[in-house]
Structure formats: structure tokens, C-alpha cells
């Protein structure tokens, strides 16, 4: 059996990947070597057009649905109604973020789709079509919540609800998508027979283990508690201290306590407050209102429940200490879930076949794949992040690791498409030496 | 001796005051009954035009200097080169603020100028001209620092420096003033022989003492420490807790500690953090950079020094605990100072003459008068704030109290203008019953 990384087409796929990745990395490039490509911004529009052009040239039909999700469908099977194998991720980013988060999975899917299409044209037969997808608004940075496009596709929220999400300037997602020409009207494809997402790890597990492929078996739970502290606007000068009802002070007590909670379970629990809105946020004015979200993550359900109770107690206590009123307008829970074994086994087999060291591991961060979990067989393949740096311009995955993930993704997609989309059947397929015709 | 509040012209002055005050209160009026009239905004432009029109109609010449300060000069004395008596305050406001802060002093000065002008036309002779002034950007809400226009006039900062101050949208004060037509080119008048400012107290002292006139004898010192915490942008999910360098966490520790410091000296020390800038301020991102200002106020120099040292230690400690770097790009100190006794005595005499209960007291908040302190004899007259509420839409001073302050201001201004601007000489003057000719 030939390792796919030494096959001629693996090299062509890698070249196609790097070329498109470099082009897309220029969309929203920052002086610090990263990108700022907020959802439905002009830069996002540029990246979306590059993705569409590249996949269209490779033989895909492009659909854009009502929330701007882009589906590049490569017709590999004979006739309509074939099952679909879907790979993808997102092109939007956090502010001053890295080039790899999300973009890696989308560009890899585009390159893999092109490779499969070449194989099809060279005479290979497939039992499923292939779709490379770019989900709208995964980050939740400009439009909230996160996993917006994949969540809408998977039925977690209505299209109208997603489109009415507003950024801090009051612009709706509908207006922003319309502005860049990506408010689509296409009916999205049906749920795939299998969904796979290549993503950078954003953590240190692979690097420490010196493994190049992470097979995600479990998704950490995430509890998010939205908090509003309402105090009273006052002059910071003459207002006597005991009369002040300072909403920012309550937020400070809470932020410190949320960190304190994390100290109880080292390594098993993560917590944070990343975003805070202060009103009126003016010098000489005691803050009247603060809005923030407490984020709690763990792979242990009992622990997550305990932590959420502690956080709610901390919210009440912080409000009391600062003499303000606390409200909790929203709570969301992304439950702890396992990813299907058959998909994990398929990825492991593909890594083994390409002689790559793989590791089964958790994902702490949410990814679009999590939106589809439970709806269809779903897998996540991680590649190492240098130093675990993420959501930062210095984020880096080395070319060899990018290509390792690409090889595994290509092989898994090839097997899945051969097997009509079923991960169980794909496990039985082996790649014949002559399956790919090399470059043409 | 007749109380001025029963004199016909006091009633006319009060009517003129209320009419202009109502008109100006409509500029930037909020649904909550307050105003949002940020410095050099369109609403500020409207208010400025109302002030200019009203004083011009009453006989004043209007000058607008290079930072947009408006001087309405009423020629009361014979010929040029007469000393100047100046009253005023500011028309800009905090976001969602009250109608009285600043506006009271400007509108009162306009009404007093008009009354003096009528007296002049009725045959009264004066040894000084009168100027009603509206200072640009007292609040520091949109353009920093506070006391911007009065500080530039008094020589605390250069015009160019003031004009290059930027709001959060990157607009300079120069551009904003130009946009509303108030980037003036007039040379401002020379320093006045005496400056007086009527202002709402914004505290509880007068209300508790059931006094209607506060005579400010001392200005609390204010130390401001600008702080920047620099951490590292990271993913709030997979990034291990011990590796996080969370700038917002450092800010939270500091905000809590700044409040703690105030608990040591109840009633004698005020502290606050009113404004905080967080980058990138996005969900799922560990904050990389936080900018804030620590504000410390006291009338006790030793205490203020101790508190500033404690705050600096707290900054270092907060940074260490959160694993971030702290920088202090700026420190400002507004020293504790006494206001000149002669001006205080004059105000006290005017209050006594109008049968109003007065009280000598501190100002905790800074006012434009503080910019002029040390440059010329300067006084501040307070009127009560209901419940001490300030920098809040619910800010209120009752009409009777507004008129009480107006009476004292009118009488003090009349005496000062009669006395060629000298507060010492003004103390010797008494208002003749027939000085004001009533309405015409």
C-alpha cells in the first residue's frame, strides 16, 4: 500500500492548498502577520469569492443559502440524489487573529474536492458527491452567537433569527451579507452522510505528544451565563462612596471570582470573561450598566454543574457587594458529547495508512462540526498549533503539519465518497495504488 | 436695603434665564429627561448658537477662540481697555447626563450679562466690562482631558495640543469644532479681573444643611493614574489557565482594590474607575490589552499621596497576579487648593444681602473655575442638587434654588463691575435701590 503523502496527487493537492491559502490569507491581513476578517466584512467577501472561484474552476456547483453559508458541490457520483460527504469550516476570524483557524479546514476541503474531481475525471467511481463548505460566522466576534451559520443549517436556530443578529454598530447580519453579495437564496443541500472538519488544535496536546493528527473523540461542555449589572450613573467626584452603585465594580468582583473558580480544578476546567460592555464608559462617571458573559468549560458534567452554581452565586454576591442589581438574561449550555466512534476509527485508519502519528483527544473549543453532531456522523481532525497559540496573530501550524492533515482528510474523503458516505463502510475500503491519476 | 430677589429686574433676569435654559435643554434631550450633548457634537453646536444669539441680542459682542471657547462680551464700561468680570461654565455634557451641570452657569451668565446691559442703558455706570463664557469640553467625555477649553485659555495646554485630542472614533477636536462651525479665529479676551462660576453642587452638603448657596473655599485634589495592562490574546477555550495572560483579569483585580483603598478613609477620600477600554473585547478571546484610569480624590494632601502610592502598588500587584505587564503612560495631579478669600467674602455678602442661607464648603468635582485658579481671583457658587444626583438624567436643581444662585450671581457681578473687577473693592459697594431699571 502506498502512503498517500508520497502519491503524486497528494503533492498536487498540497500545492493547490498552499496557493489558495496564501491568496485567502491576504484578505484582511494585519501588519502583525495575522488577519482581521470579521463575519460578512468586505475582507470576508473577498475570501468568499476566492473560495467560490477556486472550487467553481475545479468543477463544483456553488450554492449560497439564506445565512450566507457557501456549499461547493462536486458531482462525483452518477446522477442526482447521491449521498453527500461534506468537509469544511469557516473563513471568518476574530479581530487580530491567526490565518489558520477555520481557513485551514475550508481551503483543505476545496483542495480535496478538486483532487477527488480529478480522480473522477480520470475514471474513478464514487458512491457519494463531495461538498466543501464555508460556514458563516463561526467566531461570534461580530455577530453573536458563535456557530451561527452551521447552527442555522443544522436547525439549532431559525434563519430569520440568525439574520437579525446585530453587530456593535447596529448593523444586522442580513444587511452585512447583502452588502458583500452573499445573502443567498439557494436551498442548502440536505444533511450529509458524513461531515468532517480539519482544524488547527489551538492547544498544546499534539505538540507535547509529538503527534501530527488529533482525532477528536469528545467535546468539552461549555456553559455561558449572560450577566447584566445595573447600578446608577453618578459623578465620580462628589458622590459619597457609600451611595455609589457601581456596575463596573460588580463586574470586577465577578471577573476575579470566575478566575478563582477555575483554580479549584487545575487542567479540568477553564473559565473566562472575554467581552464587557460598560455604559456610559466615560471618565468622571460611575458606570451605570455593565454587560458581560461568563464562560465555563469542562469535560466533566458534574464539575460543570458545580461551577455554574458557583458562578451564579458569585454573580449575586458581586452585585450585593457593589450595591447593584444583577440580571441573567440568558444561559446557554453546549453539552459534553462524544463524537461517533466509526468516524474516529476511519480517521485513525487513514492516519495509520499515511504513517502519521495520531492521538485521540478532546476539543475544548467549539467548532462548526459540533453544530452537526447528532444530526449526522461527524468528525474533527486536529493538526498541531505551535505553542498552542490561538486567536492571536502569532498562531502557526507548520506546512508539514498542514499537509499531514490534508493527506488524512483526502484519504478519508476518498474512502467516504467511495463508500457512499458511510464511515462504517469506508473503513472497509482501501486505496488502490492507481486510484488517483496524478496531475493533469 | 432691598433684597434683589424682590427687585423687578431679578424677576426679569429669572424669566430670561428660564427661557434660554429651556431652549438649550432641548439640544440633545434624552427620553429619560436628561441630555446627551457631547463636546463639539451637532447638539453642542445648536446649544452654542442659542447662547450666541441670546447674548448678541442682549448687546454682547461674541468672540470664538481657537479651541471654540465662546466669549460674549457686554461693553459696560466707557471706552476700551476696561477690566473684565467673567462668569460662565460649559454647555457640553456627559452621555445621558442632567440638564443643569455646566449649562446652569452659562445660561445664568447670559441672563446676568443682559441684566447688567439693561442697567447700563438705564444710566448705571460700571468700571468693568462683563463677559459670559461657554468653555469648550469641560467634561472630558468625548475629548480628553477634562477642563479642555478653560485649561487652554489659562495656559495649561497649547491650543494645538487641545485641538489634536481625538474621540473614540478617531475624530479630532479640530475636525469636530470645524464641523459645527465653532473653530474660531478670534483672540480670546485677556484674563479677567475676577472669574465667577455658578454650578450645581452635585453632592448632598447643601441639601443636608438646608442652605441654598454654597461658597466654595477649597478644591479637592485629584490624582489620575492612566494604566495599560498588556497580556496576550488567546483562545478562551483550549488555552490552559496557567498560560493565560488576561489583561481584563488584571483590570478586575485593580478596580476591586481601588475601591478597597477608599474604605480606609470614609468620607475623606473618593476613588473610581469610570472608563475601561478592552481589546479585542470579543467572546472566546482572552483580552490582550486594557486601558483605564484610576481616579483618586481627597482634600488631604498626605492622604492623597498615600492613596496614590497604594494605587501604584495595586497596579503592580494586579499585573503580577494576572501575569500581564503594567504600564503607567500618564499621571496627572490637580492639587488641593484654596479659593481666594475676598471672592468668598463677596459671595457671602451677596447671599446675606439677598437673605439666602449660605455655607462655605469644598468642591470635590473639578470645574472650569479651577483652571483659572491662581491666574486671577476666582470663585465658585454652588446651588443644591436634589439627592446629590449628578452625571445622571435625574439630576435636578429646583427652580427656587436656580433663582437663588442667579440672584447672588447677579448681585456679585453687579458689584464687581461697579468696582472695576476687584473683589476687595466690590465688598465695599452696596446695591442702590434704583440701580436696576426693571423691565423695559
Nearby residues of B386 by Cβ (< 8 Å), 6 or more positions away: B207, B396, B397, B398
B316 and B254 fall within a common domain: yes
SS (H, E, C) B232-299: CCEECCCCCHHHCCCHHHHHHHHHHHHHHHHCCCCCCEEEECCCEEEECCCCCEECCEEEEEEEEEEC
Whether A440 maps to a domain, the answer reads no
Question: Is A248 domain-assigned?
Answer: yes
Write out the residue range of the structural domain in which residue A292 sits.
221-334
Look up residue B379 and give its DSSP letter. E
Q: For residue B273, list chain A residues with Cβ-Cβ distance below 8 A.
A: 248
Last residue of a domain, one of A271, A304, A334: A334
Write down how long chain A is.
Answer: 440
What is the C-alpha to C-alpha distance for residues B27 and B36, in angstroms, rounded to an integer?
A: 8
- Examine the domain organization and report whether A58 and A173 are in the same domain: yes
Closest CA to B132 of B216, B47, B52: B52
Select from A280, A297, A388 the Cβ nearest to the Cβ of B95: A280
Instruction: Find residues 376-405 of chain A whose CB sits inside 8 Å of chain B.
Output: 388-393
Judge whether B128 and B190 are in contact, CB under 8 Å.
no
Is residue A432 domain-resident?
no
**pLDDT value of position B280:** 96
Query: Does B270 appear as a known binding residue?
Result: no
Q: Is B138 annotated as a binding residue?
A: no
Please count the residues of chain B.
440
Contact B89, B103 (CB under 8 A): yes
Total number of domains constituting chain B: 2
Same domain assignment for residues B328 and B351: no
CB A136 within 8 A of CB A39: yes
A312 in contact with B, Cβ within 8 Å? no
Tell which wins on pLDDT, B8 or A205. A205
Residues A182 and A227 in one domain: no
Residues B229, B326: one domain? yes
Place of cell 443578529: A165
Q: At B112, which helix (H) or strand (E)?
A: helix B103-121
Same domain, A87 and A165: yes
- The tens place of each residue's pLDDT in chain B, 440 residues long, gives 333 333 448 899 999 999 999 999 999 999 999 999 999 999 999 999 999 999 999 999 999 999 999 999 999 998 889 999 999 999 999 999 999 999 999 999 999 999 999 999 999 999 999 999 999 999 999 999 999 999 999 999 999 999 999 998 999 999 999 999 999 999 999 999 999 999 999 999 999 999 999 999 999 999 999 999 999 999 999 999 999 999 999 999 999 999 999 999 999 999 999 999 999 999 899 999 999 999 999 999 999 999 999 999 999 999 999 999 999 999 988 899 999 999 999 999 999 999 999 999 999 999 999 999 999 999 999 999 999 999 999 999 999 999 999 999 999 999 999 999 999 999 987 654 434 433 32
Residue B151 lies in a domain: yes
Q: How far, in whole angstroms, is CA B77 from its chain's centroid?
A: 29
Which of residues B301, B334, B367 is at a domain's end?
Answer: B334
Indicate if A70 and A85 belong to the same structural domain: yes
Handedness of CA B182, B184, B186, B190 (dihedral sign): positive
**C-beta of residue B108 within 8 angstroms of C-beta of residue B87:** yes
Q: Final residue of a domain: which of A334, A366, A382?
A: A334
Beta strands in B40-115 (DSSP E): 61-64, 70-74, 84-90
Residue-level pLDDT at B433 = 44
According to the model, what pLDDT value does residue A7 have?
A: 43
Closest residue in A to B247 (Cα) is: A274
Distance CA B18, CA B9 (A): 14
The answer as to whether A310 is a domain residue is: yes
* CB distance A384 to A397 below 8 Å: yes
Question: CATH number, domain at A415?
Answer: 3.40.630.10
H-run or E-run covering A132: strand A129-135
| Contact of B148 with B366, CB cutoff 8 Å | no
**pLDDT at residue A366 is higher than 60:** yes
DSSP state of A340: P
Chain A residues with CB under 8 Å of B262 CB are 241
Chain Cα centroid distance, residue A197:
9
Give which of B146, B208, B241, B262 to mutate to test A binding, by max A Cβ within 10 Å. Answer: B241
Question: In chain B, what residues touch A285 (CB-CB under 8 Å)?
Answer: 94-95, 141, 274-275, 391
Same domain, B180 and B268: no
In terms of Cα–Cα distance, which of A248, A282, A236, A237 is closest to B93? A282
Q: How far is A67 from chain B (nearest CA, A)?
A: 21
Q: By the CB < 8 Å criterion, does A266 face chain B?
A: yes
Q: Evaluate if residue A189 carries a pLDDT over 70.
A: yes
Asked if residue B321 and residue B261 are part of one domain, the reply reads: yes
Helix ranges, A7-86 (H): 8-25, 42-57
Q: Whole-angstrom Cα distance, residue A413 to residue A404?
A: 14
Separation between Cα atoms, residue A332 and residue A194, nearest integer Å: 27
Predicted pLDDT at A431: 54
| Cell representation of residue A233 | 450613573
Question: Does the distance separating the beta carbons of A267 and B237 come in below 8 Å?
Answer: no
In a domain, A438, yes or no: no
The answer to whether the Cβ–Cβ distance between B237 and A202 falls below 8 Å is: yes
Residue among A235, A251, A293 minimizing CB distance to B283? A293
Same domain, A229 and A176: no
The reply to whether A262 touches chain B by the CB within 8 Å rule is yes
Three cell numbers, residue B390: 449628578
Asked if residue A437 is part of any domain, the answer here is no
**CB of A115 closer than 8 Å to CB of A59:** no
Q: Are B211 and B93 within 8 A, CB to CB?
A: no
pLDDT tens-digit readout, A124-174: 999 999 999 999 999 999 999 999 999 999 999 999 999 999 998 999 999
Average pLDDT, chain A: 94
Tens digit of each residue's pLDDT (9 = 90 or more) over A63-113: 999 999 999 999 999 888 999 999 999 999 999 999 999 999 999 999 999
- Beta-sheet pairing, A289-298 with A276-279: antiparallel
Q: Which residues of A touch B391 (CB under 8 A)?
A: 233-236, 284-286
Angle between helices A42-57 and A8-25 (to 10 degrees): 160
**Residue A184: strand pairing partners:** none
Residue B108: per-residue pLDDT: 98
Give yes or no for residue A437 having a pLDDT over 50: no
Domain co-membership, B148 together with B194: yes
| Beta-carbon separation of B253 and A248 below 8 A | no
Residues A327, A349 within the same domain: no
* A·B CB contacts under 8 A: 239
Q: Mean pLDDT, to the nearest integer, of A260-268?
A: 96
CATH number for the domain including B305?
3.30.70.360
| Predicted complex ipTM | 0.90
Contact A222 B235 (CB under 8 A): no
Q: Which of residues 193-252 of B touch A (CB under 8 A)?
A: 201-204, 220, 222, 232-244, 246, 248-249, 251-252
Of A243, A228, A323, whose CA–CA distance to A276 is shortest? A228
Residue B436: inside a domain, yes or no?
no
Amino acid at each position: 500500500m502506498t502512503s498517500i503523502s508520497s502519491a503524486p496527487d497528494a503533492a498536487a493537492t498540497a500545492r493547490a492548498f498552499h496557493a489558495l491559502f496564501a491568496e485567502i490569507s491576504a484578505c484582511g491581513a494585519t501588519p502583525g502577520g495575522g488577519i482581521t476578517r470579521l463575519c460578512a466584512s468586505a475582507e470576508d467577501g473577498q475570501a468568499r469569492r476566492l473560495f467560490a472561484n477556486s472550487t467553481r474552476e475545479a468543477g463544483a456547483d456553488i450554492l449560497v443559502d439564506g445565512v450566507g453559508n457557501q456549499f461547493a458541490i462536486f458531482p462525483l457520483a452518477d446522477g442526482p440524489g447521491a449521498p453527500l460527504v461534506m468537509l469544511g469550516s469557516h473563513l471568518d476570524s476574530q479581530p487580530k487573529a491567526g490565518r489558520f483557524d477555520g481557513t485551514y479546514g475550508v481551503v483543505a476541503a476545496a483542495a480535496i474536492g478538486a483532487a477527488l474531481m480529478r480522480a473522477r475525471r480520470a475514471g474513478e467511481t464514487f458512491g457519494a458527491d463531495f461538498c466543501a463548505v464555508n460556514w458563516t460566522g463561526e467566531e461570534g466576534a461580530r455577530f453573536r452567537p458563535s456557530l451561527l451559520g452551521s447552527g442555522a443549517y443544522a436547525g439549532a436556530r431559525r434563519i430569520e433569527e440568525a439574520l437579525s443578529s446585530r453587530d456593535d454598530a447596529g448593523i444586522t447580519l442580513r444587511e452585512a451579507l447583502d452588502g458583500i453579495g452573499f445573502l443567498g437564496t439557494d436551498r442548502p443541500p440536505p444533511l450529509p452522510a458524513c461531515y468532517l472538519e480539519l482544524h488547527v488544535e489551538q492547544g498544546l496536546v499534539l505538540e507535547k505528544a509529538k503527534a501530527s493528527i488529533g482525532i477528536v473523540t469528545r467535546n468539552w461542555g461549555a456553559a455561558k451565563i449572560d450577566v447584566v449589572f445595573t447600578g446608577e450613573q453618578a459623578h465620580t467626584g462628589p458622590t459619597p462612596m457609600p451611595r455609589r452603585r457601581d456596575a463596573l465594580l460588580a463586574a470586577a468582583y465577578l471577573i476575579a471570582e470566575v478566575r478563582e473558580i477555575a483554580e479549584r480544578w487545575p487542567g479540568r476546567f477553564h473559565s473566562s470573561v472575554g467581552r464587557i460592555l460598560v455604559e456610559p464608559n466615560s471618565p468622571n462617571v460611575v458606570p451605570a450598566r455593565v454587560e458581560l458573559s461568563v464562560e465555563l468549560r469542562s469535560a466533566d458534567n458534574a464539575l460543570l454543574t458545580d461551577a455554574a452554581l458557583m458562578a451564579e452565586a458569585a454573580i449575586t454576591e458581586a452585585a450585593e457587594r457593589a450595591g447593584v442589581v444583577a440580571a441573567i438574561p440568558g444561559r446557554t449550555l453546549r453539552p459534553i458529547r462524544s463524537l461517533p466512534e466509526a468516524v474516529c476509527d476511519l480517521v485513525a485508519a487513514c492516519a495509520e495508512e499515511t504513517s502519521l502519528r495520531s492521538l485521540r483527544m478532546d476539543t475544548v473549543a467549539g467548532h462548526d462540526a459540533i453544530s452537526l453532531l447528532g444530526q449526522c456522523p461527524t468528525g474533527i481532525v486536529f493538526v498541531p498549533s505551535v505553542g498552542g497559540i490561538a486567536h492571536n496573530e502569532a498562531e502557526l501550524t507548520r506546512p508539514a503539519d498542514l499537509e499531514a492533515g490534508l493527506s488524512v482528510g483526502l484519504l478519508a474523503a476518498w474512502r467516504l465518497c467511495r463508500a457512499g458516505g458511510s464511515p462504517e463502510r469506508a473503513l472497509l475500503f482501501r486505496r488502490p495504488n492507481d486510484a488517483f491519476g496524478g496531475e493533469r
